[in-house]
Amino acid sequence: MAKMQINVNGSSRTVEAEAEASLLSVLREQLDLTGTRYGCGEGQCGACTVLIDGKARRSCLTPAAAAANKQITTIEGLAQGEHLHPLQEAFLAEGAMQCAYCTSGMIMSGVSLLNSNSNPSEAEIVRFMEGNICRCGTHPRIVAAIRRAASALKESGR
């Protein structure tokens, strides 16, 4: 067990974690941030995606210790109060979910993409999102949601 500092969604939390604990297990079990989902544990599905210093990372493969003292954002920390992030809004507007188990990871990956490319083409979206699996087959809607959010962000000048 090692004590560490986890900065998540703007607040700093102290946790004790086993050496082999993943960031995913610490988020879910110790910090009750269950919006980050487990889908495979092998970096293949993207359900566990969080932002570490603004970039999409698979929390199932990230040792908790490696995330200590970095800025972590999970799906729970994306909205500003009642105000949803434009990509969250876009997922609702496009109905880009069925069971929605992939949704957290899709949104976090999408936000990471939009952070680095404010106007991604369809091909760029497909390439970037390749590591995220949706079993329900909502892919076309997810692509549409990312495009919608990109134009919303452009209009609002963010």
C-alpha span between 147 and 114 (Å, rounded): 9
Choose which of 6, 8, 15, 25 interacts with another protein (CB under 8 A).
Answer: 25
Here the tokens at position 107 are 């949104």
Residues numbered 77 to 116 that lie near ligand FES (CB under 6 A) are 97-102
User: Hey, is 131 helix, strand or coil?
Assistant: coil
* 40 binding ligand FES? (CB under 6 A): yes
Choose which of 4, 44, 65, 153 interacts with another protein (CB under 8 A).
Answer: 44
Q: How far is the CB of 40 from ligand FES (least distance, A)?
A: 3
DSSP 80: B
Using CB atoms within 10 Å of the CB of residue 86, give its burial: 0 to 12 exposed, 13 to 18 middle, 19+ buried. Answer: buried
Torsion angles phi and psi, residue 121, rounded to 5 = -75, 170
Choose which of 6, 102, 114, 144 interacts with another protein (CB under 8 A).
Answer: 102
C-alpha span between 15 and 31 (Å, rounded): 8
Here the tokens at position 26 are 């610490």
Piece of 36-44, 71-79, 86-94, 116-124 that binds ligand FES (CB under 6 A): 36-44
Q: How far is the CB of 141 from ligand FES (least distance, A)?
A: 9
User: Hey, is 55 helix, strand or coil?
Assistant: strand
* 76 binding another protein? (CB under 8 A): yes
Piece of 51-59, 65-73, 77-85, 147-155 that binds another protein (CB under 8 A): 77-85
Piece of 65-73, 96-104, 111-119, 147-155 that binds another protein (CB under 8 A): 96-104
User: Hey, is 114 helix, strand or coil?
Assistant: helix
Chain residues binding ligand FES by CB under 6 A are 38-41, 43-48, 58, 60, 97-102, 134-136, 138
